[in-house]
Amino acid sequence: MNLAQRMLALEPSATLAMSGKAKEMKAAGVTVYDLSLGEPDFNTPEHICQAAFEAIKSGKTRYTPAAGIMPLREAVAAAYKAKHGLEYKPTDVVVSNGAKHALHNAFTVTVNPGDEVIIPAPYWVSYAELVKLAGGVPVIVQTRQEDQFRLTAELLRSSITPKTKALLLCSPSNPTGSMYTPEQLGQLADVVLEKDIIVIADEIYENLVYGDNKFASFATVRPGLQDKTILVNGVSKTYAMTGWRIGWTLAPSNIAKSMAALQSQETSNPCSVSQYAALAAIQGDQSCVATMLAEFSKRRDYVTSRIAAIDGMSCVEMSGAFYAFFNIQAHLGRKYGDKMVETDSDWCLTLLEQQHVATVMGSAFGAPGYARASFAASMETLKEAFDRIEAFVK
């Protein structure tokens, strides 16, 4: 059978590919230090699991409304009012099968064939592919390490064409850990309002922010911006619930209604049991979040110090999320053992083969010459992994 044209240009997820290769090695009996996946290594907190058990025992295992159970949609809207001062009706919230699905919904209902979506690089590996699946054209705008990999208002303005439909922002960022200040978001918002484009804001890491950095939801930084913004979030990173597959969008009413209709045809509803677990996560004791954040903060400081100690390696300040995106350009164009390494892909694969450390090549994120390491791993794993990375480059 011949594949549809849309599939011929689709790139597989590099993070999942590297994780898959690491798992193959583990299955063969090799000890692998896996820093490839953005997945918290903590168990889902007990009170959240208990809510899922209770949902099962009480028979909450049937279809729900396509856009999610009303108590969860109400809880999400209430949380945004309390935390960000944003007023959303529960019907403006659409609960989906993870934030990736939420992004797919957002692109599908807003992007027409040929519409351009501006994506600052480095960017999460799925962004450009999801735009292409919706028939859109991803316009990759390169940012610089010396600018903390942040898109500037000048860069944004120069990238807008008559075909521009949307800007996609991720703050805190996967893969760089960089985060926009409220003032920087405001400068971007001025261009958005002037040029009349929409913004899809991936804020999945909003609760993983370090030090004195302050998170601002994009829709809050200018009056009128809420009507031009689709917010994407979920429980996976904050509550160690990656496998539960619950994300959501908050959007203008007509967009939310369309996403709910789309989802009703595509997937029906998100998992009923997972929705009740997510409800418990949002409404329950938040001390678990603080505990995990404190541990991530220690790991972030450790990884920062290890990268800084390796000659020719550097990374931007990791203000949020749990990734180090480090510059390896000084370590390319040379032999490692008997293997010549020219590219970041060569480097990451050779590191995995020779030192059994799994990272992800920067080119997968639109930034050749870099590598991403997740510090959502134990301190013991991080120590051994960076001992091996240091030995590798030396």
For the chain, list the domains and their CATH numbers: 5-43+288-393 (3.90.1150.10), 46-283 (3.40.640.10)
Residue 8 confidence (pLDDT): 80
pLDDT tops 80 at residue 19: no
Query: Can you tell me the mean pLDDT for 103-116?
Result: 98
Residue 7 confidence (pLDDT): 82
pLDDT tops 90 at residue 23: no
Query: Can you tell me the mean pLDDT for 203-213?
Result: 97
pLDDT classification of 366: cutoffs 50, 70, 90: very high
**248-272: pLDDT as tens digits:** 999 999 999 999 999 999 999 999 9
Could you give the percent of the chain with pLDDT greater than 70?
100
Q: Tell me, what DSSP letter sits at residue 171? A: S
Cβ 277 vs Cβ 244: under 8 Å: yes
367: phi then psi, degrees, rounded to nearest 5: -140, 80
In the structure encoding, which two tokens stand for residue 318, read together?
Answer: 């990791």
**231-254: pLDDT as tens digits:** 999 999 999 999 999 999 999 999
Query: Can you tell me the mean pLDDT for 35-59?
Result: 96
Residue 9 confidence (pLDDT): 76
Query: Can you tell me the mean pLDDT for 327-339?
Result: 96
HSE-up (13 A, CA, CB side) for residue 110: 28
